[in-house]
Chains A and B, each alone.
Chain A
């Protein structure tokens, strides 16, 4: 792509010779703004009040690193297995329930990891129904009489996280499979590939960019998950950050671990980009035919149904039933006027954050397309790092520049005009919104970028040679083409914001709750029953975008058939 794209940009530069490029200017300004909190965290890491690094490296750090690597490998592997496997099944095979599973497999995405962890602990612990039944059946009386797998372990955390994170990979893998030209599939079959070989040697490699994006999202969610690892006493880097900050009172040390964590993430992103750069493929808009799907029968049919049923049941159905049961029991206590306000807060904040993140995502990705500049690529990548930072640490990163701005403005206004502006931005919903955008921008710009990458540069050239300027090209050519990807990005950001907890807690105004903070004050005290209604609502609201999403995938599919 670089050759053709640089043609576009050369043409562009030739026309706007010696003018300040407004795209570049805006993109750099926004990348800088979004990068501020991240830079603040590095700042704290570089100049800690008391340097605790030596102590950490001597004692707990190796353990944190090892645990994190094991967690990443486990969750990544399991999520790929579930996500790619089921995506292939529902896209390419015919079996009973396929239409249902197409969208049902997305549902676990609406369940926050910490909620599923609470639910399964409740079910599988000693006093829970499963072990209770076993004890009754076999006449055991105490925990010492028998062995039962402990869910509060590294393995348990891997399963919990994979169950709610695999939809990232499922979604992107499925989109990739759907976008693949039926001609290529047909060609591979004519050349003698079995269906399996066709999958393994043609479809899978072609879907790799999508899967890689999904995997990097899964990895980043895994690396900064705190709720689950904390509850399961798994000492990952993320747990270590909080420990160092809160229990050792050393924010600098925490920021240092956070920075170390970013090294992991940058490595992940680099690997993903290298993988993506190696293979670029475009397809004309007119060569689609419906993919040939394989009918399954007998044992294969049963196996396909089971393979789709397990992640759906374990990741969605069971947790929702358990939550529903508790919510029913506690309904009178949990349901009140406050609850409506809280739900509205969550909804409005998340929707605004999703809109802003997508707007910025389009701006950054399109500017990158117009200008193949290294410095811009670095700035854009840097602004996406917020996704890899634990929410609470990022919140501190937001606090610092906001409060500094407020106080500087205040003292300026006091000195020059004798009036106090107080805290304009700190402690407002704007601060929370900003934190959401910084945290989840990577998702929005990532999905826009991967959609844009599929639009062949000849489109740009054609549009520009027909007299459209760059803004008109974006509006009339690209946006309609990437609508699906943009929508996906927006919805993922929306759901993630609904679930966001630590940054909201720290930055919010007085007397302000979102569903997540509301649930948290109970769940953090292991009072899952009181938290059930709120959790259920997070899940249900999270379902809306999932439904929209599956519809848009389906309609894209339908449009293609036409």
Chain B
């Protein structure tokens, strides 16, 4: 039997010499292949640290769209071991399409609290961020805005800036409003916010804070880490002025807390280097990487006890985050997107 197989192999190789040369040689060094929705330059330093520590080489394809489709079509021959995403929505997308496998690691379980992991082990959160309100220091008094619900109050007419309602971060926020107020309540709220917008939704989160600085609007909706990226921006010092023109408001501190989102990782169903993939997640959830996330990118570490330093500690360590399950938010995203169309939020 064995010799027969050998013969067949030999035959195949002689019949298909071209195919044979195209098959990549079995890599000698250990590797892990990543499909990343996060920009390469953001994760590079952390991946370099991983390679240095473990000797495992990390290969990356970065794109903001299409990687899930690529993974799905490549099927069981896909070379990808790991998917990194910048939000919970995409993470659930990969999981719901059945493209992942459970991660089983005592190290990860010890590093990351249960509510930042999928109950079935299909994904792990690596960092957290909150979606908050940046308010003009000059034009908004302290305590004038307390909740997300307040954003729909007519007194803010013509004073709010935000990026597209369809952006993943806003869809999560609207998804959480659906969870708390039902679809009708959320629609009314979204209509109210739309009526208060100073301009058509455009640009990224940073551009909204810039608009506050420039007097286009008084309130901007944005993720927390952008504050650090602006305040400590040595390359573009004008961004420091943007950051200095606003106060950070963590909404709903009196009740459910500020809306939370995550970045995360999942191991692909047919990962050829599963072990290396799990090792990478172990590393990313470990003390060193978690500290780097906070220092380099101003995100919240999900590993308890990670020492916070500087800006994150000073401005963002003391607030109440919404404990709503990420699965619930993800479930509402489709409905949220339809609401955005329905109220013509982006038009």
Given A392-B65, A529-B235, decide whether A59 and B342 contact each other with a Cβ distance below 8 A.
yes
A395 touches B9 (CB 8 A): no
CB distance A399 to B69 under 8 Å? yes
Could you name 17 residue pairs across A and B whose Cβ atoms are closer than 8 Å?
A: A126-B214, A233-B164, A245-B65, A247-B167, A248-B337, A399-B73, A406-B77, A407-B75, A409-B19, A416-B12, A417-B12, A418-B8, A421-B23, A423-B74, A426-B77, A507-B70, A509-B61
A249 contacts the other chain (CB 8 A): yes
**Which residue of chain B is the closest to A50 with respect to CB atoms?**
B334
> Which B residues from 36 to 80 make CB contacts under 8 A with A?
39-41, 59-67, 69-70, 73-79
Known pairs A59-B342, A247-B168, A416-B8; A396 contacts B69 (CB<8 A): yes
Chain B residues whose CB sits within 8 angstroms of the CB of A242 once the complex forms: 65
- A-B pairs with lowest CB-CB distance, top 10: A142-B215, A417-B12, A506-B66, A510-B59, A233-B202, A403-B73, A59-B341, A247-B166, A505-B63, A126-B214
Q: What's the tally of chain B residues with a CB closer than 8 Å to chain A?
A: 63
Verify B204–A526 contact, CB threshold 8 A: yes
Contacts of A245 in B (CB 8 A): 65
Complex contact B238–A235 (CB within 8 A): no
Known contacts A417-B12, A421-B19; is-contact A233 B346 (Cβ 8 Å): yes
CB under 8 Å from chain A, chain B span 174-205: 200-204
Residues of B near A421 (CB, < 8 A) are 16, 19, 22-23
Report the minimum CB–CB distance from A322 to chain B (whole Å): 15
A561 at the interface (CB under 8 A from B): no
Check B61–A233 contact: CB distance below 8 A: no
Which residues of chain B have C-beta atoms less than 8 A from A413's C-beta? 12, 16, 19
Kindly identify which residue among A127, A248, A251, A418 contacts B210, using a CB–CB cutoff of 8 Å. Answer: A127
**Is A427 close to B, CB under 8 A?**
yes
B106 within 8 A of A: no
| 8 A Cβ contacts from A135-164 to B | 141-144, 152
- Let me know if A521 is at the binding interface, CB within 8 A: yes
- Looking at the assembled complex, report how far the CB atom of B343 sits from the nearest CB atom of chain A, in whole angstroms: 9
CB-based contact A142/B347 at 8 Å: no
Chain A residues in 8 Å Cβ range of B164: 233
B206 contacts the other chain (Cβ, under 8 Å)? yes
Chain A contact residue count (CB 8 A cutoff): 64
Task: Name B residues whose Cβ lies closer than 8 Å to a Cβ of A.
Answer: 5, 8-9, 11-13, 16, 19, 22-24, 33, 39-41, 59-67, 69-70, 73-79, 93, 164, 166-168, 171, 200-204, 206-207, 210-211, 214-216, 235-236, 238, 333-334, 337-338, 341-342, 344, 346-347
Chain A residues whose CB sits within 8 angstroms of the CB of B168 once the complex forms: 247
Tell me if B236 and A403 are in contact (CB < 8 A). no
Q: Which of B62, B78, B171, B203 makes the CB contact (< 8 A) with A526?
A: B203
Nearest A residue to B163, CB-CB: A233
B31: shortest Cβ distance to chain A, in Å? 9
A521 in complex: contacting residue of B11, B39, B65, B74, CB < 8 Å: B39
Within 8 A of B (CB), among A27-47: none
Would you list which residues of chain A between 387 and 437 have a CB under 8 Å from chain B? 392, 395-396, 399-400, 402-404, 406-407, 409-410, 413, 416-424, 426-427
**Which of A152, A399, A529 is the one whose CB lies under 8 Å from B70?**
A399
Contact flags (1/0) for A79-101 with B, using CB distance below 8 Å? 00000000000000000000000
A508 to B40 CA separation, bound complex (whole angstroms): 14
Q: B337 — nearest CB in chain A belongs to which residue?
A: A248
**How far apart are A252's CB and chain B's nearest CB, in angstroms?**
12
- The residues of A that contact B238 with a CB separation of less than 8 Å are 127
Across the interface, do B77 and A407 meet the contact criterion of CB distance under 8 Å?
Answer: yes
With a cutoff of 8 Å between Cβ atoms, the chain B residues found around residue A512 in the complex are 61
What 0/1 readout, one digit per residue, does chain A (497-525) give for beta carbons within 8 Å of chain B?
00000100111111110000000011011
B168 CB, min distance to chain A CBs, angstroms? 7
Q: Determine how close the nearest CB of chain B comes to the CB of A229; give it in whole angstroms.
A: 11
Does B214 lie within 8 Å of A127, measured CB to CB?
Answer: yes
A419 neighbours in B (Cβ, 8 Å): 9, 12-13
CA distance A245 to B78 in the complex (A): 22
Do A249 and B334 form a contact, CB below 8 Å, given A392-B65, A510-B79, A529-B236? yes
Query: Which residue of B has the minimal Cβ distance to A510?
Result: B59
CB distance from A410 to the nearest CB of B (A): 6
Q: Does A13 contact B (CB under 8 A)?
A: no
CB distance from A236 to the nearest CB of B (A): 12
Cα A529 to Cα B78 in complex, Å, equals 36
Cβ of A400 and Cβ of B65 under 8 Å apart? no
Nearest-Cβ distance from residue A94 to partner chain B, whole angstroms? 46
Residue A440 CB within 8 A of the other chain: no
User: Roughly how many angstroms separate A396 CA and B342 CA in the complex, as a whole number?
Assistant: 28
Q: Is the CB of A510 within 8 A of B65?
A: no
Distance in angstroms between the alpha carbons of A251 and B204 in the assembled complex: 24
In the bound complex, how far is the Cα of B4 from the Cα of A5, in angstroms?
A: 60
Tell me which residues across on chain A come within 8 A of B236, comparing CB atoms: 529
Specify which chain A residues have a CB less than 8 angstroms from the CB of B210 in the assembled complex.
Answer: 127
Contact indicator per residue, chain A 526-545, by CB within 8 Å of chain B (1) or not (0): 10011000000000000000
A373 at the binding interface (Cβ < 8 Å) = no
Shortest CB–CB separation between residue A421 and chain B, in angstroms?
Answer: 6
Q: How far is the CB of A165 from chain B (nearest CB, A)?
A: 23
In Å, the complex CA distance between A176 and B166 comes to 46
For the complex, give the distance between the alpha carbons of A460 and B28 in Å.
59
Cα(A60)–Cα(B333), bound, Å: 18
Q: Of all chain B residues, which has the CB nearest A430?
A: B22
Provide the residues of chain A in CB contact with B206, threshold 8 Å. Answer: 526
B residues within 8 A CB of A60? 341, 344, 347
**Beta-carbon contact of A510 and B69 below 8 Å:** no
Provide the residues of chain B in CB contact with A248, threshold 8 Å. Answer: 166, 334, 337-338
Residue of B nearest to A144 (CB): B215
Checking A142, A392, A403, A422 against B214 with a beta-carbon cut-off of 8 angstroms, the contacting residue is A142
Give CA–CA (A258, B165) in the complex, Å: 22
Q: A248-B338, A406-B77, A505-B65 are known contacts; what are 18 more A-B pairs with Cβ within 8 Å?
A: A59-B342, A63-B347, A233-B164, A233-B203, A247-B167, A249-B93, A396-B66, A403-B73, A409-B19, A413-B16, A419-B9, A421-B19, A422-B79, A427-B61, A427-B70, A506-B63, A509-B61, A522-B41
Q: Which residues of B contact A410 (CB under 8 A)?
A: 77
**Across the interface, which residues of B come within 8 angstroms of A141, CB to CB?**
215
Are B167 and A525 neighbours in the complex by a CB distance under 8 Å?
no
Decide yes or no: A417 and B11 within 8 Å by CB, A423-B79, A424-B19 being known contacts.
yes
